[in-house]
Every structure is written in C-alpha cells, then in structure tokens.
Structure 1
C-alpha cells in the first residue's frame, strides 16, 4: 500500500515538473530578443569581423531580431531575406513584450481599425513587407476586413476566404470614424534622434483619379493626399536605419481656422519646422514634399525597369543669402538620381521672390529642399514608387558623406 502511494507521488511529481518545464520552455520561446543600435549610424556587415563588407547602416529608431551571437558580434534580421552582423558594443538588447490577454482592456476593439478602404491600385502581399511576394492587386473602392496588424501592415480577409497583407500607408481605415477625436501616440520613443524632417506645406494636394475636391484648379483631398508619400518615405528610411520624422500636420485646416490666405502656407509650415527643431535638435535635413500642378502626364511620368514613377522636380528658392548651399545639396541628390534612375529627375528649378515664395523655408538649413513629385495626372502608387527612389538615393548620399 505504502509502495503504491510512493509510486503515485513520484509519477505525480514527474508530471507536475514536466508540465512546469514545458510551460517555461514555451514562455521562453515567446520571448524573442531584439537588438537596437545605441549610436546614430551603425554598420551592418556580411560577417562577424571588421574587414567584412558593409550591407547597410542602421540607427537608433528600429530594433532588429537577434538570430545569433559570436564573441563581440550579434547576428540580426534586417528583413525577411536579409541578415547581417553588428558589433555588440554599440547595441542594447530588448525583449518582446508578452501578448496582452483578451479582456484586459475594454477599449481595445475601439482603439483599432477594423476595415481598410482601397483608394488606389494596391499590392496584396503574402507577408508584412515589401520583400514578400505580390499575390494580387486590390482595386480602388474595394473594402476588406482587418484580421490583425503587424507593424505598418494590415492582414486582411479576402472575398475567397484567403488572407493577404496591405501597407497601412496606402489605404484608408475606419479608425477616425470609430474613435472620434482619439489620437494615437507617436511611434517615436524618447531616445529617438531623427536627422530628417519630412513635411508638406500644401498637405492636401492629391491626384485627379482619387481627389474628392476638384473644383476649379484644385485637386485636393483631406485623407488621400501627398502626406501618404511622406509617411512612406519615413518608413523606407527607417528600414535603412536612417531616422526620419514625418509630419502629418493639416496646414490647410490651420489656415482655415486662423482665417489666413493660401499665400501664408509657408509661414504656417515654418512654425511646425521650428517646433520640430526645438523638440529634436538632431534634425539637419528638411524635405517639403509637394506634387506639381496640371502638367501633362508624359512630362511627369517615367517607366524604369517595368516600374512607373512620378518624376521629381527640385525647387530652390533664391530669396535668402545662403540659397547656393540648398542648391548644392539638390545638385548632389539630382546627380545620384540621374545615375541610378535615369530620367526620373526633371531637374532643378530656382525661383526668386517675384516668381513665388522665394524662400520656401530653406533658410532654416543648407539641407532643406522642396520636391515636386509628379503632378495631378499621376497616381498615388506612382508617387510611392518615387519615394522608394528618394530613400535609396538619400541613403547613398548619407553613406558617401559619412564614409565607413
């Protein structure tokens, strides 16, 4: 009898501790470790040694999954198909946060969008990133239910009961309608040190194929507008390890509220620049992104290796003493564009005070420029393609300037 009790106790303990070990292992597996750079520019190399080739430079704004460690080196995942090594001395480790249990926040369902509205021809991908395979095209007017959110991507349910991913920066959602005046917090943390400020003085500029306001010469929209291009550029640069800050300020609404004329747009946007500089002293580059007017499509569009882009026109104001520095910066980017994307640039246009604003807030920094991306006859998708080229060229410009 006693012998049977002892055996039962041993078996019970074995099952108990076995369950604890299994739970511990499962919990440990859920705790993915991440690495974040502690410096503004950190080299990512092909192998764990200083003589290996540099793949990319990353900054403080993004964390990367840790795959392996060797001596003083850490192997990280840059994207689905790209990995590299960074020097351990210049990174800090972070762990993934445990998933929140259902029911811990009564307002969770309210705080998340549930529907995406397609505003332009949009890629449907097999995973949450531009390096995943395109499995279809969503057409303007289509609506899909959101299953989950992964970073900047929405996983959506398709009519055939399959799923796909769409980028958040190219779609509209029901978030504002469901939340009223609720605002989301910034994705930037307290250690964020951006070098580029992206803003849009004429923030509601849109395209003829989707704009809701097309009265007279206006081609504007309160949601589907040029700010989506700046938001996309911000994300692309973040993926390259270049910290940027994209403004979503509605300057058009501010002009209306303050009863100011359209000609005072640059005075209003300058206040946003000055606030950004005060909040982030690390800023040294400023991109004011617009789209051009009703220019013939054949002049504002180009196809390079099968992809259609909205062409770029650099605008430099000569109405301040140091404009030549802005012009030199634009010339550097223009040169790189001509080398990597022949025909994408429409060149550099200088404008004095008698031809326009004349200054365009460019006296704020020698790294300040205005970019006209396409015109009213282009599409959002073509403009987003151009943001990819800008990110590519700007990264090349910075890497060349900083060296290794």
Structure 2
C-alpha cells in the first residue's frame, strides 16, 4: 500500500480481497517449473506481494476482482522502479519521524523474493511490454549480488530461481530476436556446482535454446511477434538473404544439446505428472519456435519457392501438434505460451489455405480462439489481441474442395527433437 500513493479503488487493499488473492495464487497459476515446492512467504516484499496480487487478479474468474488488476499492476511497476532508487530517497523508508521506519529485514531473503516477483511480472507481461527485458536485467543483477557465494542450504533455491529467470529471458529473446541477458552458465561457483550435477530437463532446454538463438539474434530478421501483430495480410517478404546452408546446419544442430529422454528424470523436483506435462509443453512449444525462425522473413508463405518440402512438413506437423496440446493442456497460461500457440494457429490456417489441412485443423483453431475470448482480463489484453489476429486469418482462409494433406518427401535425418523424447513426454496423455 505504501507503493500506491494515488487514490485507489475501495476494495484494492481490502483484507478479504488481499487474503483471497494471496491464498489463491497456486490455484490461479500453476506451479512454476523452477520451484521444487509451493513456497509461501509470511512477510513478502512489496514487489512480490504486488506481483502475486496482480497474477491472481488477472486469473480470477470474478469480474469484480479482475477490475482491480490494473491497479495492482501499477503498484507492481512502482515497486520495481523503487529498486533503482537510492535508500536515502526511497519513498517506502523516507518520511516524517520514526513512525515510518520499517523493521529490519533479511537482505538476501528480500532479494530472493524480489527476483521471484520480477519473474512473475515478466511471465504475465512479456510480448506486450518490451520493458520485460529491463526487469530481467534487474533480476539477474539481484541474483549476482545476493546469491550465496558458497554452497549452503539456500544455494539450491537460488539455482532454481536462476533457471526461471533464464527461461523468461529466452522467451523474451525468442519473440524479439534480441540478445540474451542471462548467460547459460552461472558465473557464481555455488550456482555452477548445482548446474553441473543437475538432471533438470529445463536447464538442458535452456542450453539448447541459447545455442540456437545466439546465431539468429541481432541479424534484423523479422520476428514471430512482429508477424503476429502486423495488420498487413499477407505480409510482404522481408529483403533478408535467403535461408543459407549454414543456417540450416545451425537449426539441425540446435537440438544436439538436448535432454536424454527428459521425461525420466530421477531428481525429485521433476517427479509427478505436473512436471511431465510442463516438460512436454515446453518441448513442443520450443520445437515450433525453432522451425519458425525464418518463416516471418518469407512473408509467412508456407509454400514459398525457397522453402523445402521437409521444412514445410515439419513446420506444419509441429503447428498441428501444438494446437492439439492447447486443447488438452489446462496449464497453458503464460503469455509466451499463448503467443506461440497463436503462431501455431496461424501456421495451420496457412496450411489449410494451401490445401494441406482438414476440418479438424479448423476446429482446433476455433477452440483456441474460444478460449482466448473467454478471458475477463482488462486492457492491455493479450488474449483479445491474439484472438483478433487469428480471426483475421480465419476470415481469409477457405477450405479447398479437394483438400487433403500435402504429401511431402520427408528426410528423417533432418528431423528436429529426438522422437524418443517426444514419445516419452506423450505417455502422460
């Protein structure tokens, strides 16, 4: 409340509403993959509190509660901004007399909570808010400054937190093809030690995505996000040099550093159905991302002359699989997940328009649009934006009378992502 100086809605800090949102965070947003358990904090920092209230509010089904989300987001942004204000000028600690003095707090614990709050803020803001990259940078700086240098009982929790920050960073980079902030290998010995012995499939996914994105970032390539938000249908192909053999080799080798049968981790933090579903989801979504790197540069033309049949086949197959995943996976809520699934829907519609589709493909697309339209989120509303863009493609797409799946000459050696991995991850369904 100290971070919110302007007049606010009456219920914003109501004990009943705050308690309801605080206690429902694990219901309204599934467990974070980088946390071994559902943590609770008796004395959260203003940033973490605001982040949890905001996340819970936007996922709450009640319209009365959802209307509070913009105010919580305003508080969250102010709490983030306060991290860059010197203590002497800090609004939360400067005031008249000692009555405003705050009790002493554990600096390391506060830093940990602030990083967690920044991750929650990023997961619900990426794509729409490009400042997410700045928030990631702040989070990484806090990790470097406050993570224990030597291995102790809390170092493992910091390693898990860094994993969450890395994934968020890569998601932001993949949408904008910018450079990463968080390195793949932790600079601190205490974090490196855990990375060396971890059986974490998410860490292995991080290594894989770093390997590929570093080749394509900073080259001025059109991005998935720019293609989705463009109102120009069809897109004009970008004057980018043709897809080169080197690019093809990079994409082929992109997945060589991958998890060995990721569904079979022996680490207890990856046991259980929920973790298996998360792994399956991330590998499916990242597979589509890898296959789509050059697609925006081709003007989203699935049947462009310079696109090999094997590339068409794998891209379309991956897009269909991603849409099917959306139908069966209730845990898809993060912004990045929704953007990639919207991308899958647009890709599938392109296939239908070109004669490589069937009625079920259109049903899957409509199912995704219906779920996006059910949201009660206030502006800025990513769900509404994505639904509008998909509907624009739907309106221009017609099913050819003799539509059948196009027969591609598939070269199995070119296939990305070890099929054994995908089979194991599909066992949960």
TM-score, structure 1 normalization:
0.30
Higher relative contact order (CA 8 A, sep 6+): 2
The structure with the greater share of residues assigned to strand is: 1
Q: Structure 1 or 2: larger helix share? A: 2
Q: Which of structures 1 and 2 has the bigger CA Rg?
A: 1
